[in-house]
């Protein structure tokens, strides 16, 4: 069993503080990379919780992946708001559930295999993180 020493000089963060910090880092990156398209990212951050409520987490992740594709190459464009917010959401889920990979294909595979309780917990975490993302995106 491997144990890691906890740095006593830094206090442990609560789950809400971790979500807030992650969301802040995401919107900071989005603002730097997207420039004028940042407004689209912020608007997506506001609308995604409702999309998940109406359609489901996996459907929304697939939607973000599809809308983030480059029309010429068919591959995800990392500089599109849809791709970026999808990447950020998967990263947030990976931070809480390490078995959920950050890559789209792999994450979808794991979500399809998740038992109902685990899937519900993952969806709940997505909502909790998105609450912070909405606020941080608006504040930025």
Q: Give the domain 15-139 fold.
A: Peroxidase; domain 1 (1.10.520)
Q: Where are the domains of the chain?
A: 15-139
Joined together, the tokens standing for residue 83 give: 């791709």
Average pLDDT over residues 119-128: 98
Cα separations (Å) of 122 from 95, 97, 127? 11, 8, 9
Whole-number pLDDT of residue 9: 65
- pLDDT tens sequence across 7-35: 556 778 999 999 999 999 999 999 999 99
Residue 5 has pLDDT above 50, yes or no: no
Average pLDDT over residues 96-117: 97
23: phi then psi, degrees, rounded to nearest 5: -65, -40
Whole-number pLDDT of residue 11: 79
pTM listed for this prediction = 0.89
Joined together, the tokens standing for residue 84 give: 């970026």
- pLDDT tens sequence across 32-68: 999 999 999 999 999 999 999 999 999 999 999 999 9
The residues that bridge with 98 in the sheet, in sequence order, are none
């Amino acid at each position: 069993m491997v144990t890691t020493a906890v740095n006593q000089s830094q206090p442990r963060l609560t789950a809400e503080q971790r979500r807030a910090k992650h969301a802040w880092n995401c919107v900071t990156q989005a603002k730097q990379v997207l420039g004028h398209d940042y407004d689209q990212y912020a608007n997506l951050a506001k609308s995604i919780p409702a999309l998940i409520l109406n359609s489901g987490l996996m459907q929304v992740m697939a939607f973000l992946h599809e809308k983030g594709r480059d029309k010429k190459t068919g591959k995800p464009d990392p500089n599109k708001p849809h791709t970026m917010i999808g990447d950020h959401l998967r990263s947030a889920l990976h931070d809480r559930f390490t078995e959920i990979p950050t890559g789209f294909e792999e994450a979808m595979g794991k979500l399809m295999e998740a038992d109902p309780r685990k899937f519900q917990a993952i969806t709940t975490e997505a909502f909790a993180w998105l609450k912070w993302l909405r606020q941080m995106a608006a504040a930025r």
